[in-house]
Structure 1
Amino acid sequence: MIPNQWYAILRSEDVKKNKPVGIRRFNKKLVLYRDTQGQVVCLDDRCAHKGVPLSNGKQHGDYIACPYHGFQYDASGRCVHMPVLGKDGVVPKHLHVPFHTVREQHGLIWCWTGEQVPEQLPEVPMFKEFVEYTGFTSRYAWHAPTHYTRYVESVCEVYHVPFVHKGSALNIWDPKGGRVDDFSCQLEGHLIRSEFVLRPDDDRTAEETLKARLPWTRGWRIGVDVLMPNLVQIRNDVFDVYLIATPIDDDNCWLCICYKEPKRDLLLPMMKPLPIPGWRRVRPWLMCRMERFIQQSKDMAALKGQEPRISSLEANRLISVDKVNAYYLRLRDQLIQEAQAQAKAQAPRSPGDIGSHTGEVKPIHIVPHKPQAA
């Protein structure tokens, strides 16, 4: 995990009034609840007294109570009441649990992962295409048995679709060839943007495949973007979706997907969606479920047994069209190094300490992708 970053940890609708929720993220057990103002509170899910999960307890106004002895904690993790001492009892100062800085934006709950919380926190990351979007969207979340770095890689490598998803019920409109043309990739700060055409490997030009009317003969112009630390956006002329992979531990991650309304008919991409009443809301909801139970189940089957579990530049032998992955892994290394350098600078120094230096991400030089002529 990259420290000093915002990570989405739950959907907003997952934390309801008077219902504490226990989750596991970043190898930690966390409890989330809403105070009387509806604001989300996040604490370590462990009573400071005997280690019982607070998520099994109940709320008392703005406080959450341990189910074992009723000790109550406020939003800062400070124990404010111990029934055993009576209402006027003085609570020992050492009885507190760590709290976590959270924000609620874009229909998600975000947690700051740094050991230190700066006075001016960076903005919560989100693709501008979704920030500015005013139509209907739908979000769906679940757990996946893979490290979050491997999941980020998998959704960046759209050229796996014709092979992994072969035989899928949705394959009638999936890309039908693994050939990639017109590939380009740029780095814009912490944002990686790429464009390419995924198409059948035949004698037509890339532009000709994009104009084909039959879904099993057409090519797709696709954009894949990565926004650090863990957001991926897939754009094309039929749908736009973002995907988030947040670490649970080294073997599992929490996934969240968000679809916009489709721009064209799913089965006949040359047509706009039929104006069926009520379907503007239903379509993105349905696409999320198809993604979860059809597309992603096939992806997880393909990733099963992948080694090493955690990705890195050294773990892979990347090819030219993996430039998005290469930038992502290099940016990840850089951000981790910067966080470590910052932590070292803030720690007490001895005379012999020497600060580390990190620079900008170096350009990646890869031989341009040139598919062989048919």
Structure 2
Amino acid sequence: MFIPLLNKPVDTLRPAGSAISPSDWSILSNHWYPVAIARELLDAPLAVTLLDVDLVLFRGTDGSASAAIDACPHRHVRLSIGKVVDGQIVCPFHGLHFNQDGRCTYVPALGPRNNLPPSYKVRTFEVRERYGLLWTCIGEQPLEDVPLLPLIAKVPADELDYLAPEIWPVSAARQVENFIDIAHLPYVHAATLGGDQAAPIKPGRIEQQPDGVLMRANYVETNHGIRHCAYTYRVVLPFAIEFKVEVEGDADFMLESCDLPSPISAHQCKVFQILRYGGSREERAAMCGGLAMVNREDMVVLGAMRIPDLPLDQHHEIHLPVDNISNAYRGRLRDLGLGR
């Protein structure tokens, strides 16, 4: 009922109840993650969670987005249930106004005072708009920029489709591994992609890159006729994927996408997916619907995973030759200092 007298306030952003270890949190917090589709942040504030930290997004008078801790420092009511007035977020409890820098500019109960103390503030974070998404970083030493995704960087906006973001019941790292795992395709996605469950699957060709790992692999889809596909996965550390599909004998086929799981917590992520598909508006909508179905198939299986944490020590699991991409990805996560 009460905060004990001996419990002094601490200035640590990582919540005490976070299941992400302090060392992993410190590393992950310095990366940039998508937190919203840019066009969906309009006149009202938007609540999001990143690495167990509750944030509120809002737009200033110039239209740029900001992120702040989703709690008024006065009585800790969520700012996200308030409103935005003249580019400032207003607490719904006592009407305190906070600008994009987090400074409190107006307290109705104090009248028209302009000399509010510096302690009247809420912590804010920079937001960058890139690839049609809003990205933020909450670490003390943020990386210079958001992940480089050349597959979609220069594509006209009207050629891109955005699947509705969904919350997956696994960590961002588990979601990445699932996306790049080709051995599960004929089983989990038998109804959508198809494939011969009895046919051996050859490991892909791995290429290490400065910012991640690239793999090229072949797969035969069977649910849209027999399609001999070349899959290219480019994993950008820590949690971003560029994916490209090429179909043998069909030079006009074009499917490119980005899979971007944003870590809500140790065992949940919000997945943003951007799709570029060569086809009519109706065909693009159908492809988005098909990929959404693929996601649902994945979530059913991943939700049954008994060990939610991703092992970075290879001795925790058995491994197949086709797991080479996962093993390469885990090695790069270890290189970041994670799991220590």
With normalisation by structure 2, the TM-score equals 0.82
Check the 8 A contact 1:175/1:216 in 2, yes or no.
no
Cα distance in 2 between the residues matched to 1:98 and 1:33:
14
CA contact (8 A) 1:192 1:328 kept: yes
Q: Structure 1 regions of 5+ residues with no counterpart? A: 201-211, 263-272, 274-278, 341-374
Residue 12 of structure 1 deviates from its aligned partner by 0.5
CA contact (8 A) 1:175 1:218 kept: no
Given residue 201 of structure 2, which amino acid in structure 1 is its aligned partner?
V
Comparing 38-47 and 80-89, the one that deviates more: 80-89
Partner residue of 1:222 out of 214, 218, 231 = 231
What is the CA deviation profile of residues 64-91 of structure 1, one whole-angstrom value per residue up to 9, with x for unaligned ones? 1100000111111111111111012532
- Looking at structure 2, the residues matched to 99 and 285 of structure 1 have their Cα atoms a distance apart, in angstroms, of 37
Deviation of 1:157 (Å): 0.3
Amino acid at match of 2:297: K
The residue number in structure 2 matching 1:192 is: 213
- 2:116 partner amino acid: V
- For 1:150, the equivalent position in structure 2 comes to 174
Distance 2:268 2:92 in 1: 28
What displacement does 1:103 show? 0.3
In structure 2, C-alpha distance between the alignment counterparts of 1:136 and 1:218, rounded to whole Å:
24
Instruction: Answer whether contact 2:98 2:105 (CA < 8 A) is retained.
Output: yes
Task: Give secondary structure in 2 for the equivalent of 1:100.
Answer: strand
User: d(CA) in 1 for partners of 2:51 and 2:30?
Assistant: 13
Count of paired positions: 302
Give the secondary-structure state (helix, strand or coil) at the position aligned to 1:219.
strand
2:101 is the counterpart of 1:76: yes
Identity of aligned residues (%): 23
- Cα displacement (A) at 1:312: 2.5
Corresponding residue of 1:179: 200
| Residue 218 (structure 1) shift | 4.1
Cα distance in 2 for residues equivalent to 1:253 and 1:182: 27
Q: Deviations over 1:178-237 (max 9, x none)?
A: 53237310111112111121249xxxxxxxxxxx9x955443221122011211122112
Judge conservation of contact 1:30–1:44 (CA < 8 Å) in 2.
yes
Partner of 1:283: 283
Match of 2:322 in 1: 321
Q: Is the 8 A contact 2:183 2:322 kept in 1?
A: no
Give TM-score, length-normalised by structure 1.
Answer: 0.75
**What is the alpha-carbon root mean square deviation over aligned residues?**
2.4
Residue 158 of structure 1 aligns to a residue whose secondary structure is coil
What is the one-letter code of the residue matched to 1:6? Answer: W
Q: State how far apart, in whole Å, the 1-side matches of 2:168 and 2:38 are.
A: 20
- Alpha-carbon distance, 1:154 to partner: 0.3
Conserved? CA contact 1:70–1:83, under 8 Å: yes
1:28 deviates by 1.1
Q: Which has the higher strand share?
A: 2
Tell me the residue number matched to 1:37: 62
The reply to whether residue 12 of structure 1 matches residue 21 of structure 2 is: no
What secondary structure does 1:295 align onto? helix
Equivalences for residues 297-316 of structure 1 within 5 A: 297-314=296-313, 315-316=316-317
Opposite residue 100 of structure 1, the aligned amino acid is: F
- Choose which of 244, 265, 268 in structure 2 pairs with 1:252: 268
Whose Rg is larger?
1
Which sections of structure 2, spanning at least 5 residues, go unmatched? Answer: 1-24, 247-252
Q: CA deviation at 1:62?
A: 2.1
CA positional deviation for 1:26? 1.2
In the alignment, is the contact (CA less than 8 A) between 1:64 and 1:73 conserved in 2?
A: yes
